[in-house]
Amino acid sequence: MDGTRVSRVRLGRLSGVIAGVLAGIAAVVLAGTAVAHRIVEPASAPFIEATHVPPLLTARGEEVELRYDVYCGNGEAEADVDTPCAADGVVFVRAGDAGPFREMALREDRSTAEGRFVAALPDDIARSASGFSYHARFQSDQTGLTTGVPAGGADAPQRSLPLGRSIEVALGAHEFGRARETDARVVEAAWGTGSAEVGLEQGRNLTPLGGSAFDVEADGTVVVLDEANKRLLRWRDGRAVEALPVTVNGTLADMTIDDDGTVYVLETTASQGLNPLLRVFDRQGVAQGATAVAGRPSQVRVGPAGPVVLQSQSAQWMPAVVGERPVAMSEQVGAARSGRPLPDGRKVVILRTGDQVRVALVGNAGVLRSWIVHSETPVAEVQLAEPRGTGIVLVTRVFTDDRGEYVVLVLDRRGVTQRFSVGSVEWAETAPLSRFRLRGGSLYQLGSTPAGLFVDRFDLEVN
């Protein structure tokens, strides 16, 4: 056999192999492409959903309108999404918080982008000395689906209180860049997985999430929820002293600590098809139980009989655990109330409206004391409103399009007794209202930079 013939034979064999390889790859590509171009646009499930911002506190002489938005999915493809949801709405309203409700039809106001369904309250209800309570119901004309706001309906209506004679506070225009120096940096931790480090959930390539919440124990020990590493981290006298593993799901969560050291962690995401969990741990991080929470919860605080949770849709607080008994979701919804119940039996109610913050301490007979804070600089959220004696410590954020700072106000019957501002250094996302905690005579602030997380302490003046 000469060399030329051998080469031809080898070439022939090789070409068969190459053809086979190419055909195999082509078959995979074609199969994938064929599947990829299968166009399926199935009908979607119908829904109806309503939103409402409750006028929790009304000022003297104020016109009161109840406004709602309603969104419908009609169970078909999205062709008609821009057709306004056709729905009938009714609001049930009464003076005070007892007795029969009066039924009022909601009219549609298409001139506004927000609050399309509206009811103006009659004077006898709007100006009632004991305020008013109400709930609303909507039914889609197309699908017949209904929804109630709040979910508890007549059993747990929205509550609005008249402020009466409030203490007015004028902040004027905020001067940025004059934030107070911290009295102590009580926590400083790099991002990471070490025993004195705090984790970033998604790393640095995606939006940073980490150091989800914190609280302060009675002796000044700071506890950080390191949700990414599923731990509680303790710092005392500026030093990391303990890292306790806890069974959390590793996503953004709020946290609060009871006086006996019990730790409540409110998760804001859940496994598919389930509701978020409120998890309970003892001081050593040992799980004591978990309770599913209704709606879209965003905050947990300690109430008079256990942890209470804020439901975003209704702005109502719900009991999640009473004593050691978990509260079922239907019972949570039925027991939801406007205003955060405090351990001493009072409530604190806050409302930010425009560039104004209204805050009230409420007892059984109504508003005990209230303040209206006016700002010439736009106001964002109220981060903290905690009672201090007969007054309150209020932390709210003022902002422009490229700056933001917190204003700290210590308020009492005379008005402002102490005022200062602190910076907002917030590189990593946390639970929304977990930036500040008040413990004893000190205010603590959680912040972060690309280097890590910190907690600063600001000592308040003794009154």
Partner 1 sequence: MSSARRFLVAFAIAFAVAGAGTASAYHTQWIAQNCNWAAPTPTSYITRDGSITVALYARHEGYQWGGGCWNDNNVDDSPGDPKSDPNTGGEGPDCSGFTFKVWREAVDTSSTAFHQWWRLRHIHGPYRAVHFRDAVGAPNYPLSKSAAIKMDAYAKESHIGMIYVTNADGTDQIIEALGEAYGTNIWTRAYRGNSLYSGVRRLGWSQP
Show contacts with partner 1 in window 156-185 (CB under 8 A).
Answer: none
CB of 15 to partner 1, least distance (A): 8
- Which of the ranges 218-226, 266-274, 301-309, 324-332 carries the binding residues for partner 1, by CB under 8 A? 266-274
- Is residue 110 involved in binding partner 1 (CB under 8 A)? yes
CB of 417 to partner 1, least distance (A): 23
Strands 277-281 and 263-267: antiparallel
- Helices marked H in 117-273 — which ranges? 123-126
- Which of the ranges 78-86, 95-103, 183-191, 318-326 carries the binding residues for partner 1, by CB under 8 A? 78-86
- Is residue 24 involved in binding partner 1 (CB under 8 A)? yes
CB of 119 to partner 1, least distance (A): 17
Which residues, including other chains, have CB under 8 Å from residue 212's CB and lie 6 or more apart?
225, 226, 227, 251, 252, 253, 254, 255, 430, 431, 434
Q: What binding mask, one character per residue, do residues 422-441 give for partner 1 by CB under 8 A, x or -?
A: --x-xx-x--xx-x------
Binding residue (CB under 8 A) for partner 1 from 78, 168, 183, 282: 78
Residue 21 amino acid letter:
V
- Which of the ranges 76-84, 165-173, 283-291, 446-454 carries the binding residues for partner 1, by CB under 8 A? 76-84
Count residues binding partner 1 (CB under 8 A): 96
- Is residue 364 involved in binding partner 1 (CB under 8 A)? no
Q: What binding mask, one character per residue, do residues 1-20 give for partner 1 by CB under 8 A, x or -?
A: -----------xx--xxxxx
Question: Whole-angstrom Cα distance, residue 400 to residue 175?
Answer: 11
Which is nearer to partner 1, 37 or 178 (by Cβ)? 37
- Which 197-226 positions form the footprint of partner 1 (CB under 8 A)? 201-203, 205-209
DSSP calls for 282-303 = -TT--EEEEEE--S-EEEEEE-
Q: Omega before 307 cis (within 30°)?
A: no
- Which 291-330 positions form the footprint of partner 1 (CB under 8 A)? 296, 298, 312, 315
Question: Whole-angstrom Cα distance, residue 212 to residue 227?
Answer: 6
Name beta bridge partners: 18. none
HSE-up of 212 (CA within 13 Å, CB side)?
28
Question: Whole-angstrom Cα distance, residue 339 to residue 358?
Answer: 12
Which is nearer to partner 1, 17 or 462 (by Cβ)? 17
- Is residue 348 involved in binding partner 1 (CB under 8 A)? no
CB of 72 to partner 1, least distance (A): 7
CB of 463 to partner 1, least distance (A): 26
DSSP calls for 144-157 = --EEEESTTGGGS-
- Which 41-60 positions form the footprint of partner 1 (CB under 8 A)? 41-42, 44-45, 47, 49, 51, 53-54, 56
Structure tokens, 262: 């019990």
- Which 385-424 positions form the footprint of partner 1 (CB under 8 A)? 396-399, 401-404, 424
Binding residue (CB under 8 A) for partner 1 from 352, 369, 439, 457: 352
Give the residue from 313, 202, 317, 215 showing the smallest Cα distance to 264.
215
Which is nearer to partner 1, 269 or 284 (by Cβ)? 269
Which is nearer to partner 1, 208 or 391 (by Cβ)? 208
- Is residue 351 involved in binding partner 1 (CB under 8 A)? yes
What are the Cα distances from residue 105, in Å, to 13, 72, 112, 135, 327? 84, 19, 18, 12, 34
Q: Are 318 and 335 in contact (CB under 8 A)?
A: yes
Question: Whole-angstrom Cα distance, residue 213 to residue 27?
Answer: 52
CB of 69 to partner 1, least distance (A): 7
